[in-house]
Each structure stands twice: as structure tokens, then as C-alpha cells.
Amino acid sequence: MADKVVTAVSAPGKMLLAGGYVVLDRAYTGLVFALSARINVLAQEIPTSEGVHLTEIVVESPQFLEAQWRYGYHLAEEDGGIKVTQLQVGTRITANPFVESTLNYVLTYMTRTSKRFHKRILKSARLTILADNDYYSHHTSSPTSSAPSIGTGRFARFPVTLSDAHKTGLGSSAALVTALTAALLTHFLIFDLNSEDGKHLLHNLAQAAHCAAQGKVGSGFDVAAAVYGSCNYRRFSPSVLSKLPEAGKPGFATKLEDVVHGMNGIQWDTMIGKADVGLPQGVAVRMCDVDCGSQTVGMVKKVLAWRAQNPEAAEKLWGELQHFNEALEDILKAGKTEDISKAIRAIRILVKEMGDESDVPIEPDSQTELLDALEEVEGVYGGVVPGAGGYDALALLVKDDEETAQRVEQFLDSWSKEKGGRVSLLGVKGEMEGIRMEDLTVYDGWVR
């Protein structure tokens, strides 16, 4: 039987407190906080009898129904790298583009580097994904009461498929791709996840895989937060990934290695400032689930179209937003709690203006009403609709004590009853740390 070595890593979710839309342009920056809600990935070989060899990768998310994906893999011709092929599970094939893209990219990279960083040969592997509960709205897809109690309670079982689960908008796809990438690299290669070189490599590979899965080159702040944690972020130039062929196409393997290592004319120009980010003592980042969600891609396209049609007005607005975003960053780092509310209000006014001008509900009227009311709760410094806006979870800066949390929870309960729908305070908080190795005792009952 093969040895049962298990490697566990986790990557945090994200919340873009300041920099929505402007972070898409390298001329501007975003203030992004990592979140305590994490996507966890456990990697292990599939035990086989002596003489039996498998070339299969099994990926599963046991918290959800029908959440297993099986892949075969082969070496593509003409330097195309490793290409995975999804296998049928029972009578169905349900695609998971983020998992599939990550496997294509990471396995290809591993074949290019295994001679230098070999630890164990990849023949077969089982990858188990476990998501902290705050990634999903419990009042629409609540844990099953009949399901057995497993683990420490961090990982609830849900009575729905993954596609039917209501996400809270904490950045699960970027955290998944980053954690999956890190789990494969650390399990099968000699790879130091704690070194700056290791994080840099992980960041570049995960960015490439995540952009491929999305079908576009995004700003990448979500992957940066998953790797490095809370930071001030300036995006990389889209040209870094623009000439990378599709997985399996001629030349993909060599070009991917060039991209990951920044070789042969490829220059990563991402700027990630860890030292620039902080929170005043006794202040916490909290999230409110509004159990809805937004089509972020469509919203971004409309805002960018408005910007292209109104360049002078847009640049003036974006420049003002950058100024106030930087002011909030400075206030938080300096610990000036008395100035937080004013800084957040200035940002919200400009974001609302951007939404009105582009006809995009970046801060919808219902969110405006809720945020204005929350500002009146004792211990709440202010809040925003983070990132691209819409109806995803709200971000609050609050006094970090139990009394404030109770006041916010009581307010949200009353608000839900009065207005209809459900709004609730999530347990997740902002934190500074990014990707990390985990102790296996966290996953008692989930490791096979």
C-alpha cells in the first residue's frame, strides 16, 4: 500500500475595502483585507495494492451533494503540457472550471520543474476541499440536521449541490485556486510555502490558473490576498498573461514556466504592500450577509464602458476615489478611529456617484439605507459595499468587542423583520495572514 501522507493548506477569503473598479487600472491601488474564513485543501495519494498503478485525480468537496470530480491526465503533444480530462461520476459529468484549470496549470508546471524540485512522483491523488461555513448563506442552504456531526464544527454539511449553494461573496474561487495550487506544490515538490520566493511563485501560478478559469485577465487582488494576506495592491499588466496559450496547446508548457518565473521578457509588475496595511487597536473588519449576490462581471463591463465613453469625467472621479482610498488607508494604519467614519462617508459618496453615472447598482439604494442605519449603531465606525459592489456581503469597521457585535446582531435581526429578507452578521473577521500550512488535527473525521 502507498504511504498515507496528507498535506493540508488553507487560503483566506478577501474583502476589497477601498479600490473597487479603480483597482482594475495599474494607475490606482486597492486596500484589500484577508478574511478569517478559509478554503482548505488536503492532498494525499490514493492507496493502491502492490502492482496496481492509477493515473487519476479525484477532487471532492464532501460538504455538498454530488461534489466529486474525477480526472484522467495525459501529456499533450508539441510542448502542450499536462491536460486533464474529466471522467464520468455515476451517470453525470458536472464541470468545475476552477478545479480543472488549476490542475492543467499546476501539473504542467510540475512536469517542468520536477527534476529540480522532486519530492514524490504523481501517479494518483485525492484532493479534499473544505470551506469554512461563512462562505455560504446558512439560512438558504442550512446544514442538514440529519447529517452526522463531523470535525470541529468549522465545516458544515449542506443539503444542496455546490452550484445551488448561496455564496456570501468572500472570494471562494480565488481562495480555492490558491489553496489547490499550494497543496499540490507542497505535497509533490520540495516547495517552501513560507519563503518569499515560494509565495512569489505561488502567486504567479495561481494568478495564471485563476485568470484562465475566469476566461479573462482580472485585476488579481483576490489571489494576491489569498497568497499574501491583507495588503495594498497594484495590479499586474494584462500583457503578462496575454500571450500564454491555452492549456494543452503547442508551447503552453514552456510559456507557462516563463510566466511563473518571469523569464524571457516576461516581467511581473504587481506591487503588494504588506507594511502599508493595518487596523487600529480594538477595531475589527466584519461582514454582513445579505443573502443575495451580484453578477460582478456584467457590472464591471458596464462601468468600464461608461469610463471609455466619458474619459474626462471618469478620470476625475477615479482620481478623487484614489485620494480618499489612500486617506482611509493612512487613517487605519495611524490608528485614528475618530476619522474613520468621515473617510468612509467620502468614499461612499463617490462610489454612489460612479454607480449613478454608469447606471450600475454599485451601492444599491437598499444597501445605502442599511449602511446609513448601521452607522447609527454604537460601536460601528462605518461600512461599505466592498469590491465591485451590488448585493454581496457588506463590510463594516466596528469596535472589536462582544457588546458591539451583540448590538449589530440585534439591529440586523430587527431590520430583517421590518424590511423582509434576511441580513445577518457573519462570524468572519479581517486578518493579516495569507496562505499557510495547517495541522491535520483541524480535519479530524474528514481525512480518509
Over residues 133-137, the mean pLDDT reads 89
CA 207 to chain centre: 11
Whether residue 147 contacts residue 164, with contact meaning beta carbons closer than 8 Å, is answered with no
Grid cell of 12 as nine digits: 483566506
Over residues 397-425, the mean pLDDT reads 94
φ, ψ for residue 109, nearest 5 deg: -60, -40
**Percentage of the chain lying above the pLDDT 90 cut:** 75
Say if residue 138's pLDDT is above 90: no
How far apart are the C-alpha atoms of 441 and 430, rounded to whole Å? 24
CA 15 to chain centre: 9
Confidence at residue 216, expressed as pLDDT on a 0 to 100 scale: 87
CA 435 to chain centre: 11
| Residue from 243, 237, 267 nearest 255 by CA | 243
Sign of dihedral through CA atoms 248, 251, 254, 257?
negative
Segment 264-312, tens digit of pLDDT? 999 999 999 998 899 999 999 999 988 655 556 688 889 999 999 999 9
Confidence at residue 116, expressed as pLDDT on a 0 to 100 scale: 56
Position 283, amino acid:
V
Over residues 217-223, the mean pLDDT reads 93
Residue with the three cell numbers 446544514: 143
- Per DSSP bridges, beta strands 394-399 and 283-289 are antiparallel
Over residues 355-367, the mean pLDDT reads 94
Confidence at residue 117, expressed as pLDDT on a 0 to 100 scale: 57
Say if residue 325's pLDDT is above 50: yes
- Per DSSP bridges, beta strands 125-131 and 82-87 are unpaired
Question: Poorest-confidence range of 31-35, 88-92, 157-161?
Answer: 88-92
CA atoms within 13 A on the CB side of 20: 28
Grid cell of 66 as nine digits: 454530488
Q: Read off the pLDDT band of 10 (50, 70, 90).
A: very high
How far apart are the C-alpha atoms of 4 and 205, rounded to whole Å? 27
3-class secondary structure, 446:
coil
Grid cell of 79 as nine digits: 510542448
Confidence at residue 148, expressed as pLDDT on a 0 to 100 scale: 36
Confidence at residue 142, expressed as pLDDT on a 0 to 100 scale: 40
Say if residue 432's pLDDT is above 60: yes
Confidence at residue 12, expressed as pLDDT on a 0 to 100 scale: 98
Over residues 438-443, the mean pLDDT reads 93
Over residues 120-133, the mean pLDDT reads 88
Higher pLDDT, 151 or 204: 204
Confidence at residue 296, expressed as pLDDT on a 0 to 100 scale: 64
Confidence at residue 208, expressed as pLDDT on a 0 to 100 scale: 98
Say if residue 378's pLDDT is above 50: yes
Say if residue 234's pLDDT is above 50: yes
- Per DSSP bridges, beta strands 424-431 and 30-44 are antiparallel
How far apart are the C-alpha atoms of 119 and 271, rounded to whole Å? 31
Say if residue 152's pLDDT is above 80: no
Write down all domains in the chain, each with its CATH number in brackets: 6-274+433-443 (3.30.230.10), 283-431 (3.30.70.890)
Grid cell of 313 as nine digits: 469625467
In the chain, count of helices (H) and strands (E)? 11, 13
Task: Work out the mean pLDDT of the chain and round it to a whole number.
Answer: 90
**Percentage of the chain lying above the pLDDT 70 cut:** 91
pTM: 0.93
Over residues 91-120, the mean pLDDT reads 85
Over residues 50-65, the mean pLDDT reads 80
Confidence at residue 169, expressed as pLDDT on a 0 to 100 scale: 86
Confidence at residue 115, expressed as pLDDT on a 0 to 100 scale: 60
How far apart are the C-alpha atoms of 234 and 262, rounded to whole Å? 17
Confidence at residue 53, expressed as pLDDT on a 0 to 100 scale: 52
3-class secondary structure, 132:
coil
How far apart are the C-alpha atoms of 209 and 84, rounded to whole Å? 14
